[in-house]
A and B are shown apart, each in its own frame.
Chain A
């Protein structure tokens, strides 16, 4: 593995997986630095969950290499298991046990010892606002409470790398905010988070780096800003005092779109500082006065559409 930075929490090269003749992951490369939040973004069926299942040692890859916390997921699965925690669509709580008993079960399986297990359980119930509910069976919990208990159970073993598979799907906005807050606090404590989501705003809000997965391939990767920049749809809108100024400016920018009624000119641009300076320099040289200037960068919805040629699941559902 060349080019992988030292201290990467997750390193994936050429990961492949097919179910029958349906190719789900078609050569995926990923790198996640320790102590950061990484979001794997994609519509339903893109292969996100399969990626998490392979990286969390639940299923085996057909090809490629994957290391989590420095261990090979195929050859050193047990070491990987000792370093990770998984919460998500396929992870679950024990409905017949109370919240407290669920946490104690995890403490026992992590061999924490009686006193330490109790201490950790009490601390997590407190931290996830489940103290009162702790004595009730998990089957009586709301969706948000279940998700909190699920994550609390994941944290009992002090994992260094946490996989969150669509952690907020189906949650109400308030629970969603709480989950985001929790995730941020975890990372502040040095944990690495690998999260999958089909919500663009979630990736935008949380992730240090984002990779867009579509039909089993990574079609783009970078920070949210990097993804948005340099894509069709970004432009700088210039507004002028009158038609004379507008016409003068139109002579400078040949590819711009002119709107006589609004007295505006839309100049295609990635919206970066250098591009803005260029535009202003050219206007200066032509002696044109600008009344107002605004930068329009594409949001992640535009990014997604541009990269994959189809809208996100969220948008489809609305239609």
Chain B
């Protein structure tokens, strides 16, 4: 475990040295929040009307922004892991007598912490903008737990992608998915307002049940079976990501 903590310290230093990471993971979600509330908020409030569950668009929006933060955080992790692979430092770690997966664990811990920090910031700014969730302590805890679980899922996937990609460009498909999928979900508008195939996709992709669950928890409205679907997605993605990363890491490195 001490090796993993050493790697955590290393990754914290990396975050502090790299302004792009700070902006992408911590400031960008807040920026997206301001953008959607300030620019699109008025129009969406009118256009969506009764379709949004809360009183105001910002009440509808916040869970989606939180999951976008998770996507941005995971994107940075995929690139950081890939950097470790292509620069060869992972090979150095692998020839040392240290805990084998400590370098990956370090990435996951720091990335998760970064994303949770960003989530707190998003909620704080949202409250300043007029966000009024109706959640009790248990709901808050459950919502935080769900964000953490989804972060874990996406981060392990990101680690696997970072290990699998032969160059930084190789991580781009994952970056696209992690950052654009929220747009084709219930994050900004209800899928019911979408058309045809897009609507089907938006309803069934993982972001939607997770966002809907968050929304229910934070607004105090019924969660229905979204909760179960959300947890199944999170646990499934975590297992898939972790399993894939482990497989890649055990395999002999190519570079």
A interface vs B, CB < 8 Å?
56-60, 78-79, 81-82, 84, 86, 90-97, 101, 105, 108-111, 137, 153, 157
Contact = CB atoms under 8 A, between A and B. Distances in A.
A157 B92 CA distance: 13
A38 to B, nearest CB: 18
B14 A84 contact: no
Contact of A78 (B2, B9, B97, B255): B97
Contacts of A81: 95-97
A111 B97 CA distance: 10
A63 B251 CA distance: 17
Nearest to B255: A90
A86 B89 contact: no
A60 B92 contact: no
A86 B13 contact: no
Contacts of B6: 105, 108-109
A96 B89 contact: no
A19 B199 CA distance: 47
Query: 3 smallest A-B Cβ distances: which pairs?
Result: A92-B88, A59-B252, A82-B97
Contact of B89 (A60, A92, A108): A92
A79 B2 CA distance: 19
18 contacts: A57-B95, A58-B91, A78-B97, A79-B97, A81-B95, A86-B91, A91-B91, A92-B92, A94-B89, A95-B87, A97-B10, A108-B2, A108-B9, A109-B6, A109-B96, A109-B98, A110-B96, A157-B96
Contacts of A153: 92
Contacts of A86: 91-92, 95
Interface of B is mostly: helix
Contact of B14 (A79, A82, A96): A96
B13 A96 contact: yes
A91 B88 contact: yes
Interface string B1-38: 01100100110011001100000000000000000000
Nearest to A101: B13
Contact of A58 (B13, B18, B89, B94): B94
A90 B255 CA distance: 7
B253 interface: yes
Interface in B154-175: none
Contacts of A137: 17
Contacts of B9: 108
Interface string B76-91: 0000000000011101
A94 B96 contact: no
A93 B255 contact: no
A54 to B, nearest CB: 10
A92 B87 contact: yes
